[in-house]
Amino acid sequence: MHVSTGVIRLSRLVVLVGLTACVTSSAPEFTAAHRAAIVDSVQAMLAEWRTALNAKDFAKAATFYSTDSAFRWYEDGAPTFHSARAIRDTMLAMRPGLRDFNLTLTDPEITALGPGAAIVTSEFTEKLTDTTGKVVGFAAALSVAVVHDSAGWRLLVGHNSSLRPPPDTGAKKKRE
């Protein structure tokens, strides 16, 4: 009985030391250089995504959306797409009716959250020209969570909201 009690105490000590080692060991430090590398690589991904969209290469543009089941895309507060496939299918369906597609991001800000995760915020404009020459455009703000997987950076959860026109300050001055 004395030997088994000693073995149990030794086992508990080994487990306790192991747990302490797990708690006291830390993850690798998330350095400024790592943050800068994430910002640079996400910026490069955004440029490729925008280039594909502007070339109307919607099949390629669709590869920048995550196929993870957590994927969501919202527009003006409403859930619009629940899969990368739905966005791809929508883009491919509108392609035959487009003469030109132009997306411009305005000074995108990229915040590295940790290894493999970042947030992108930007205002943007989009101008679409149909095959008859009719032009439609709008301006909006965008926020997107991007994640890195085996294929590179992918858009996982996004939201865009239409920008409101600036207030008419001229009307106020006329009343004064």
CATH number of the CATH domain containing 74: 3.10.450.50
- Is 1 inside any structural domain? no
- Is 174 inside any structural domain? no
- Is 4 inside any structural domain? no
Please tell me whether residue 69 adopts helix, strand or coil conformation: coil
Question: Looking at residue 22, what is its pLDDT?
Answer: 47
- Is 81 inside any structural domain? yes
Query: How remote is the C-alpha of 32 from its chain's centroid?
Result: 21
Number of domains in the chain: 1
Question: Looking at residue 27, what is its pLDDT?
Answer: 65
Question: Looking at residue 166, what is its pLDDT?
Answer: 74
Question: Looking at residue 26, what is its pLDDT?
Answer: 65
Ranges of the chain whose pLDDT falls below 50: 1, 3-24
The domain containing residue 95 runs over which residues? 32-164
User: How far, in Å, are 13, 41, 142, 149 from residue 120 at the CA level?
Assistant: 47, 12, 8, 17
Residue in the block written with tokens 């943007």: 124
Question: Looking at residue 29, what is its pLDDT?
Answer: 84
Question: Looking at residue 121, what is its pLDDT?
Answer: 98
Contact 45, 153 (CB under 8 A): yes
In one letter, which amino acid is 143? S
Please tell me whether residue 116 adopts helix, strand or coil conformation: coil
- Is 65 inside any structural domain? yes
- Is 12 inside any structural domain? no
- Is 92 inside any structural domain? yes
